[in-house]
Structures are given as C-alpha cells and as structure tokens.
Amino acid sequence: MDIVISGGGTGGHIYPALALIKEIKRHEPGSRVLYIGTEKGLESEIVPKEGIPFESVYITGFKRSLSFENVKTIMRFFKATRRAKRLIREFKPDVVVGTGGYVCGPVVYAASSLGIPTLIHEQNVIPGLTNKFLSRYADRVAVTFSGSASYFPQGKTVVTGNPRATEVAHADGRAGLVSLHVPSGKKYVLIVGGSRGAKAINEAVIQMAPKLCDYPAYHFIYVTGEVHYDKTMEAIKNQGGVPENMTIRPFIYNMPEVLAGIDLIVNRAGASFLAEITALGLPSILIPSPYVTNNHQEKNGRWLEEQGASRVITESQLNGSLLLAEIDAILRDSARVDRMRQAAKALGQPNAATLIYKELQAITCP
C-alpha cells in the first residue's frame, strides 16, 4: 500500500500519523510513504528524523471571526491544493490520509478531486473546522471517541480510537518505574503538563511540595518540562527541599512505559494523551489548556469526566491545595479507582492503528 499522509501543527496530529505509518509498514513492509505538511509546523522537524520522505505546502488556518485574512487563506488554500495535486500525481498513492491540522485541507481535498480514496482521522471529541469541511469529500471518517460520530456523515464514520494508543497498550510498566529509580510498594502519581510543561501546573505543584511528606503512601513523579525545570527546582528547594516521596524530571523519554506503571495521572487533555490513558485504563485528573483552538481540551476532558473516567480542574480553579486534595480523594478510595479504570478502559481502543489499517484496505480494495 502506497500512502500519502498529512497532519501537522502539533504533536497531537503528527504522532498518530507516525503510529499509523508503523502499523502499515508492519503489515506491508514494502509500502511507500510520503508525508505532506507545512514548513512551520513541528512535522517539518519530526517527520524527516523518522526517515520518512517529507514535502510541504503553504497554508494557514481560518479565523473564526469575519476577517480579510480569511480571504487570503482561501487563496492560499487553492494554491496549496494545486501543489498537493502535483505531489500526489507524481507519487501515485493508493490512498491519502489526513490526521488533523489545517494542512490536511488542501491535501485531502486534492486527493478527492483526483479520485483517490481518502480517510480522515479526528482525535478530539469536538471536531475542528478542517475535518468538518473534509468529511464531505473523504471516503471514510475515523474518530477517536464515540461522542464525535454525530458530527460527521453517517455511513462513512467509524469509531476506531487513536493510533497513538496502540504504542502504549503493551508497554512494560515495571520497566518504566525501574527507569525512574522510584521506591517500590507505593501508589504512583504522575504529574506532567505536556511535553513542554505548563506554568499553571508547575505553580500548583510547587505549592503542594511542602505538604507531600504527609502522604507517605504515595510517590509523586513530576515532569516539569525542560524550560521550567531549573526555576521549579529552585523554588522547591527554597521551600525546604525535594520531599523523599517525590521524583522530579525535566522530561521523560520512555513515557509509554512510565504511564503503564502508575496509578493516577495529572495532565492536560490533549487528544493523543487521552488516547494513551484510555488504552491503559488509567484514572486521571485533567487540567485542560485554555489556550487551544475552540477550547477543545476542556471538551475532551469533560467527555471523559461525564463517562466517569476522569476529574477535570480548570486553570482558573487550580491551586496546590485543591490538586493535592483531589489526588488523595481518588487514591484513598479503591472502589472509585476501580470505577475510573473501568470507565477509561471502556473508552480506549488499544487496537486503533489496526482498525484504521483495515479501513484503508476497505476503501482501496472495495
């Protein structure tokens, strides 16, 4: 299967694409892949490092309010579509996949206009503008959560989960904990604000730190993000030092293994992250970023909370005392932990990449 895949802007669109590419290669090692993104997105750095051929188109996103900039965006869209058509004609793919971000707009639209089978994947509970637009042209719409299905045309929409989940479903949790040199026999809490960290979460954990010694049954693993590490360490040391039941790291490179070994996660509510924790059946406290388009992180988090898998705290509510109280309220109630695990597991799809691969087979070999 020769495939053109497009997804960009953030890791939430890129890493599912890479997971899907791995799955296709696992089934069909001779498959050719071309990734089309933008030069300014993270994909221009991440994808070439994976040894995947990369091309770019120039496109920007629409403003949600009336703006002359939207006129320029329409012009860029048609120009990007023409370039995407040229790239697709030269590559001759069997199928074209879009995993999110506005770059998918011209790429998937170009493929559809050329009569090439297309699939788009929606990671968030509430779809973005690009996928809503593309759903009219795509042959298949794959969604991570069942709550998204009603936003797309019936008959072409399938609930598959997120391909990123496949990479964590069989991770070795014991190896993850050993790699961090944490003591055994504890309940483990992982606190992380995304790959780059989050200032609000860091501030809350700094407030919590002096009180952690009152909770010896728990071990707190705290990932600050590279840019916040030095300042955070200094602040905690000035308050009396790092508690014995706390491990602090600027970044964790083996995150799937660490996730598989913990009892509770505190994090943002990005789509790829939620796919990982639901695949593992991991209880969570979610602190959605208020700085994302269409406030989709809070909508993601509220969906999990409604299903009983999570507890949502907004940034406006967040402080160290509240966060520590919520962590303790969950972990000291084993029945609640079990309910949250079951609810999260019910939402997860550890075989997501395989399910999407099967959909690709179906639309290329009807």
Q: Is 11 marked within a binding site? A: yes
Q: What are phi and psi of 312, to 5 degrees?
A: -100, 130
CA distances from 68 to 73, 74, 119, 207, 318 (A): 9, 10, 31, 45, 38
Q: Is 252 marked within a binding site? A: yes
Decide: helix, strand or coil at residue 358: helix
Residue 91: CB atoms within 10 Å: 17
304 CB-near residues (< 8 Å, 6+ apart): 269, 274, 278, 284, 286, 310, 312, 344, 347
Q: Is 124 marked within a binding site? A: yes
Q: What is the spatial order of strands in the sheet that 246-249 belongs to?
A: 246-249, 218-223, 187-192, 264-267, 284-286, 310-312
User: Could you tell me the two tokens for 191?
Assistant: 């606190």
Which is it for the CA torsion 215, 280, 20, 142, positive or negative?
negative
Q: Report the residue count for the chain.
A: 366
Task: Identify each DSSP E strand in the chain by its residue range.
Answer: 3-6, 33-37, 54-56, 95-98, 118-122, 140-143, 157-159, 187-192, 218-223, 246-249, 264-267, 284-286, 310-312
Answer for the pair 320, 207: CB distance below 8 angstroms, yes or no.
yes
Decide: helix, strand or coil at residue 91: helix
Decide: helix, strand or coil at residue 35: strand
DSSP codes, 244-302: TTEEEES--S-HHHHHHH-SEEEE---HHHHHHHHHHT--EEE---TTSGGGHHHHHHH
End-to-end C-alpha distance for the chain, whole angstroms:
14
Q: What are phi and psi of 204, to 5 degrees?
A: -65, -40
- Separation of alpha carbons 205 and 199, rounded Å: 10
Answer for the pair 98, 137: CB distance below 8 angstroms, yes or no.
no
Where is the binding site for UDP-N-acetyl-alpha-D-glucosamine, in residues? 10-12, 124, 195, 252, 297
- Binding site: residue ranges? 10-12, 124, 195, 252, 297
